Amino acid sequence: MARISLMSQLILYGLIGSLFSLAGGLLLLWRADFAKRIANILFAFGAGTFMGISFLDLLPEAVEMVSEPDDIFLAAILGFGAYFALERLWMKHVPKGQAVHAHHAHSESLPWMTVAGDSMHNFLDGVVIVLAYLANPALGLTTAVAIAAHEVPQEIGEFAILLDQGWSKSKIIAANLFSALTAFVGIGVGYVAFPFFQSTIPVLLGGVAGIFLYIAASQLIPEIHHRAGHEHAYKLLAAFFVGISIIWYVITLSH
């Protein structure tokens, strides 16, 4: 009976951490036409949030958990390299008629890789909620709230990417619901395999940080350069640093 109560509590915290974070993205879909007109600004904002989460949240959190951080940064490099390899393999299998449009093939992989990266992040969020709750039940709740707050600006950036790539609203909602549900998979796996994840979560966080850095530096920022050219430099820079600043502010509050 106690185990059922514990699992229901963890599921409740998972709902707080994942579903609440979708609110910002759904608000963006409500004003989809306006979002498309400011797509480059939203891309810059999304790049800022990915960079902010990597450097200000995931990597510092992982480093705090270990005495020697070398493996954390190695995992970040491997995460970055893994996504580089995945994109090259994706582009390799683009039909030859499209191969000459290298930028098209590059941007075509962006939404799928974004959803995959977010799914891995949400999975780890679920594991982190379990670890925090088992350490201290009150810490589990604050962790879930902090995760929700961190995710809102990131979700806005991700919804903007999918919307710009021509995905329908229903497809975007379905993809992000799937991504959100991976948090509950993380809760289940973390609950069953608590001893394993307790020791490996820092390395996994480092890997996710590397993935987010790849999405920001290799996909979003080049896409902005390609689409905007020499125009709107100050607006794009402002959006980029606003994304970073919001993540920093939310992390500061949560601590």
Q: How far is CA 57 from the centre of its chain?
A: 11
The per-residue pLDDT for 147 is 72
Q: Residues 82, 153, 112, CA angle at the centre, nearest 5°?
A: 35
Domain assignment of residue 16, yes or no: no
Domain assignment of residue 165, yes or no: yes
Torsion over CA: 98, 211, 199, 249 (sign): negative
The answer to whether 17 touches 129, Cβ cutoff 8 Å, is: yes
The answer to whether 180 touches 19, Cβ cutoff 8 Å, is: yes
Domain assignment of residue 78, yes or no: yes
- Name the residue with tokens 């891995």: 120
Helix, strand, or coil here: 39?
Answer: helix
Task: Quote the domain boundaries for residue 150.
Answer: 48-254
The per-residue pLDDT for 157 is 74
The per-residue pLDDT for 14 is 82
Number of C-beta neighbours around residue 116 at 10 A = 16
Comparing C-alpha atoms, which of 135, 132, 118, 119 is closest to residue 13? 132
CA distances (Å), 225 to each of 103, 178, 190, 198, in order?
Answer: 12, 31, 40, 41
The per-residue pLDDT for 75 is 94
Domain assignment of residue 25, yes or no: no
What pLDDT tens digit does each residue of the chain (255 aa) get? 555 577 777 888 887 767 666 766 776 777 767 766 777 887 888 888 889 888 988 899 889 989 889 999 999 999 899 888 877 776 665 555 444 444 555 556 677 777 887 888 788 888 878 877 776 676 677 677 667 765 666 677 777 778 777 888 888 888 888 888 898 898 888 888 877 777 888 888 888 888 889 888 887 788 788 878 777 889 999 999 998 998 888 788 766
The per-residue pLDDT for 192 is 85
Domain assignment of residue 186, yes or no: yes
Domain assignment of residue 167, yes or no: yes
CA distances (Å), 65 to each of 56, 148, 210, 232, in order?
Answer: 15, 21, 17, 41
Domain assignment of residue 56, yes or no: yes
Domain assignment of residue 136, yes or no: yes
Count of domains forming the chain:
1
